[in-house]
Structure 1
Amino acid sequence: MPLLRRTLTGLIAVLALAACGTTETPAAQPAAAGTASGSPAGPITVTDARGKQVKLDRPATKVIALEWGEAEALVSLGVMPVGVADVKGYGTWVTAAKLDASVKDVGTRQEPSVDSIAALQPDLIVMEDERDSPLVGQLEKIVPVIVAKGSDASGNMQRMRDDLKMIATAVGKTAEADKLFADLDAALADGRQKLAAAGAAGKPFVMADGWKEGSTISIRLFGKGSLVSDVAEQLGLKNAWTGKVDPAWGLGTTDVEGLTALKDPGIRFFYNASDGVDVFADGLATNAIWKSLPFVQKQQVNELPPGIWTFGGPLSCAQYAEALVKAYTA
């Protein structure tokens, strides 16, 4: 950690200069998660996913997001972040809320650059505890930090709403958040109606992505509890993958042999290959097991349009819902 300490020292120096000469604002009264105290332009207290109260003198305007889900949330609320971790990757995987060319890259999501963060002099950092936990305690000593939960397989749709409400409160955009939720609810209701009219209510689906290492292809399944599974279920579909998944993300891994458990001939298989690496159409094209699967034989395999982020906010969820409806009603 010596390098991290040196870069944090630089960050302290830069932000300390920016803070000189200010007068501390009296503490606002505590507010529940997703709520604010004071007027929209005045002091705000936000309770983040850690249960920690974070006080801001005013709604944040210079915000850095260290995860794509939180970056999408900011853009969808009308607040263009000044910095995002892995800007290029975001542009590939997230198309629902595009970044301006002015947004600076602050390193990778796994290892954001403290020096790049310091140079932007943000008034707020939004991050996820699990991904960025080594930095949380250090950064929040010098910059206000709110931590989003990011995922919770016990209720991911509600978790997504809670995260967005929290971020909206911190940037003074709660009305915009309410509209995003209303639009998503309307899209889901419309999609559910269209699927029912097409006789697709209750139809089984599977959602996956995959990668290849050497000659081995690994497949990641989005099980019950994943955000995209919650979206599909609200449309009236049924997740056919019942294998083991983790409690945070609702994800499980298998190989092509593991897919033989999916025997229902009604299953429609969806997958994401936004980075251009298609292990299903290319890597498994000649695989005998893959070709024997019912959904492959019945040509019920659908690649999602590129850039639908499966861990995103209301706009990405609406994109995903639209793709599902189109597949079942085409």
Structure 2
Amino acid sequence: MRLRHVTATATATAAVAALALTGCGTTHSTADADPAAASATTTPGPITLTDATGTKVSLDGPATKVVGTEWNVVEDLVTLGVDPVGVADVKGYKAWDTAAPLKNAPKDIGTRGEPSMDTIAALDPDLIIATTDLSASAVTQLRKVAPVLEVRSADAADQIGLMTGNLDLIAAATGTAPKAAAVKKAFDAKITAGRAALAAAGRAGARYAFGDGYVESNQVSIRPFTSGSLIGAVNERLGLSNAWTVKGDKDYGLATTDVEGLTGLGDAQFAYIVNAVDGDPFAGNLAKNAVWKSLPFVKAGQVHRLPDGIWMFGGTASMEAYADAVVAALTK
């Protein structure tokens, strides 16, 4: 798996409103039930949810046998204490999402973009959770196997709101709303502590650029994570100033550039995440590149490889791990 492929890759009071705005609202089956109260209930019984596509999803009760077709929803399940029975690309998840390690041995259901219908059917799941990155045809097939709950994959307008809203929706489907509330509180505390640590180290407002890179035909391409990315949103919550000036896409907030495109960053802190499996194009392929070596942040030793295994498109666990890594890198 290469990092450039983000394949089938809303807060408590704010979440209800955000979910409604994005079509991700949740309701309990009880008539006239208040949506906020419904999302906090753990009482067993029929559940009706509205997913990101506006589809009504009906369950006999909180789902326990759940399949996740994308790593962020798998991370949410694990974070909520629900062990998924099926996971797409288990090996990849273990390599890229170490913040929420699998506690069981789920069945590998194939790739994130093309899950195996037969494998999933054999698991007889209560619920399949997918993202809007999965093709409509695949979702149609999955709905023949079990109820499918789709969450929006990304939204550059409010990545953190979407992340916590998706967590709330999955919690409503699995009867784990109290856990979700605790998880969101811990996430907010982590970001608050990280912001304070950076400020104490004189890093408040520091110009900071996060990106990843990949090699194709011996050329290094770089993917800037703009303010519209999830990581960009976390950076700003931490009190950092995004040094990228390029415009990201409307969903993931990502852009594309090359090593020459880094010259516009000027004096900044530059950080990236790669994985030992795929290699390090910055320390490796660019080590002797004249443009790379001439960059102010390279000359000043302000290039930080953050720890492997932090999934850049994950949930609260990944973003907490990312915040810890950024604080450690910029305060050492």
TM-score bracket relative to the smaller structure: 0.7 to 0.9
TM-score, structure 2 normalization: 0.87
Q: 1:203 to 1:36 in 2, by over 3 A?
A: closer
For 1:225-304, list aligned pairs within 5 A: 225-263=228-266, 265=267, 267-274=268-275, 275-304=277-306
CA displacement, residues 129-184 of structure 1 (integer Å, 9 cap, x when unaligned): 12333211232244111001121000000000110100011000000001110001
C-alpha displacement of 1:240: 0.6
Partners of 1:182 and 1:51 lie apart in 2 by 28
Check the 8 A contact 2:210/2:272 in 1, yes or no: yes
Structure 2 unmatched runs, 5+: 1-28
Cα RMSD, aligned residues only:
1.8
Q: Which residue of 1 aligns with 2:25?
A: none
C-alpha displacement of 1:125: 0.3
Q: Which of residues 301, 312, 327 in structure 2 aligns to 1:325?
A: 327
CA displacement, residues 61-102 of structure 1 (integer Å, 9 cap, x when unaligned): 000000000000000000010000000000000001111352
Partners of 1:162 and 1:28 lie apart in 2 by 21
Q: Which of residues 135, 138, 146 in structure 2 aligns to 1:135?
A: 138
Partners of 2:45 and 2:217 lie apart in 1 by 56
CA displacement, residues 33-71 of structure 1 (integer Å, 9 cap, x when unaligned): 994498621111222111222111100000000000000
SS at match of 1:312: coil
Aligned positions, number: 303
Q: What is the one-letter code of the residue matched to 2:70? A: E
Answering whether residue 142 of structure 2 is matched by residue 149 of structure 1, we say: no
C-alpha displacement of 1:270: 0.6
Q: 1:91 to 1:37 in 2, by over 3 A?
A: closer
Partners of 1:99 and 1:131 lie apart in 2 by 22
Check the 8 A contact 2:41/2:177 in 1, yes or no: no
Partners of 2:228 and 2:145 lie apart in 1 by 36
Q: Which residue of 2 aligns with 1:202?
A: 205
Aligned-pair identity in percent equals 49
TM-score, structure 1 normalization: 0.88
Q: Which residue of 1 aligns with 2:23?
A: none
SS at match of 1:111: coil
Q: Which residue of 2 aligns with 1:110?
A: 113
Q: Which of residues 303, 310, 313 in structure 1 aligns to 2:312?
A: 310
C-alpha displacement of 1:29: 4.0
Question: Which is higher, the Rg of structure 1 or of structure 2?
Answer: 1
Partners of 2:31 and 2:69 lie apart in 1 by 28
Check the 8 A contact 1:33/1:48 in 2, yes or no: no
Check the 8 A contact 2:207/2:243 in 1, yes or no: yes
Q: 1:37 to 1:178 in 2, by over 3 A?
A: closer
Partners of 1:38 and 1:28 lie apart in 2 by 11
Q: Which residue of 2 aligns with 1:51?
A: 54
CA displacement, residues 160-217 of structure 1 (integer Å, 9 cap, x when unaligned): 0110100011000000001110001111111111111111100011111111112111
Q: What is the one-letter code of the residue matched to 1:96? A: A
Check the 8 A contact 2:42/2:177 in 1, yes or no: no
SS at match of 2:67: strand
CA displacement, residues 275-314 of structure 1 (integer Å, 9 cap, x when unaligned): 3410000010000000011110100001110100111111
Partners of 2:31 and 2:295 lie apart in 1 by 59
SS at match of 2:310: coil
Answering whether residue 175 of structure 2 is matched by residue 172 of structure 1, we say: yes
Check the 8 A contact 1:125/1:145 in 2, yes or no: yes
For 1:79-94, list aligned pairs within 5 A: 79-94=82-97
Partners of 2:89 and 2:286 lie apart in 1 by 30
Partners of 1:108 and 1:260 lie apart in 2 by 37
